[in-house]
Amino acid sequence: MAASLLRLHFHDCFVNGCDGSVLLDGGEKNALPNLNSARGFEVIDSIKSNLEKACPGVVSCTDVLTLAAREAVYLTGGPYWSLAFGRRDGLTTSETAANEQLPGPFEPLENITQKFAAKGLDTKDVVVLSGGHTLGFAQCGVVKPRLFDFAGLDASFLQTLQSTCPNRNESNSNLAPLDASSSKFDNVYYKLLVNSSGLLRSDQALMSDNVTGSMVVGYSKFPFLFYKDFGASMVKMAGIGVITGSNGEVRKNCRVVN
């Protein structure tokens, strides 16, 4: 579940801040980027129910998700970073906001960079956090446009993709690994981009720009630099629009407001 938990945290923070809104039933869960693809909710529920037994009403669902994302990275061989806690849970969730604010796999780099900038994240954060795609899979429905627009795609990579994602509607829910070691947090993602073998169009687009392209090359050569920068960008992301003090609440059940 490592990739799913990391993605859930990202999708939470990018829509009206890190407030646990993606965990609420309805709203964001029904948005296009989340519907039939966001998962890991049961993991958060399980952690939360244990916490409620040990110390009721203390740890928010938002903090649980933030910490779960870090553990997911650390336990799959990635970096460890220190986090501050005390985020409170939001009271609303918005399908429209999720559809508008989350970056998508078909968007040009310029749009993605603008969406990051709107959250106080810069171009370096775009390149670094995209490296989260070292973990997990993408559904073929998202990948298939790459198979028919393969300018510059590595030939053997294209062949592999076409067998995983044949050009038929029923293959849309098949899973293609985002990188060659999709259950291990490493820098293979960047090596693939350098080799024109990025699974998502939005990933490969990082190589189309001189600034982001040179960062990709750097991370492909220096894994520990990537690890250090990934932790720093994750701390920045975990601070987007947080609710503190007496605002919001500490939910008892992450799926519904108290």
Cα–Cα distance between 36 and 33 in angstroms, integer? 9
123 neighbors 212 (Cβ within 8 angstroms):
yes
Name beta bridge partners: 243. Answer: 88
28 is in an annotated binding site: yes
Alpha helices in 169-222 (DSSP H): 188-194, 201-204, 210-221
Instruction: Look up residue 60 and give its two tokens.
Output: 């928010």
12 is in an annotated binding site: yes
Helices 41-54 and 61-75, axial angle in degrees (round to 10): 120
203 is in an annotated binding site: no
134 is in an annotated binding site: yes
CA dihedral 226, 231, 234, 235 (to 10 degrees): -150
Q: What is the CA radius of gyration of the chain?
A: 18
Among the options 9, 11, 29, 146, which is catalytic? 11
Instruction: Look up residue 155 and give its two tokens.
Output: 């030939």
Measured CA to CA in angstroms, residue 225 lies from 71, 96, 186, 243 at distances of: 19, 37, 11, 31
66 is in an annotated binding site: no
Residue 9 annotated among the catalytic residues of the structure: no
63 is in an annotated binding site: no
89 is in an annotated binding site: no
177 is in an annotated binding site: no
77 is in an annotated binding site: no
Instruction: Look up residue 10 and give its two tokens.
Output: 């990202």
223 is in an annotated binding site: no
> 3-class SS at 177?
strand
45 is in an annotated binding site: no
Residues comprising the binding site? 12, 15, 17, 19, 21, 28, 103, 133-134, 179, 186
Residues comprising the binding site for heme b? 133
Residues comprising the binding site for substrate? 103
Residues comprising the binding site for Ca(2+)? 12, 15, 17, 19, 21, 28, 134, 179, 186
State the catalytic residues: 11
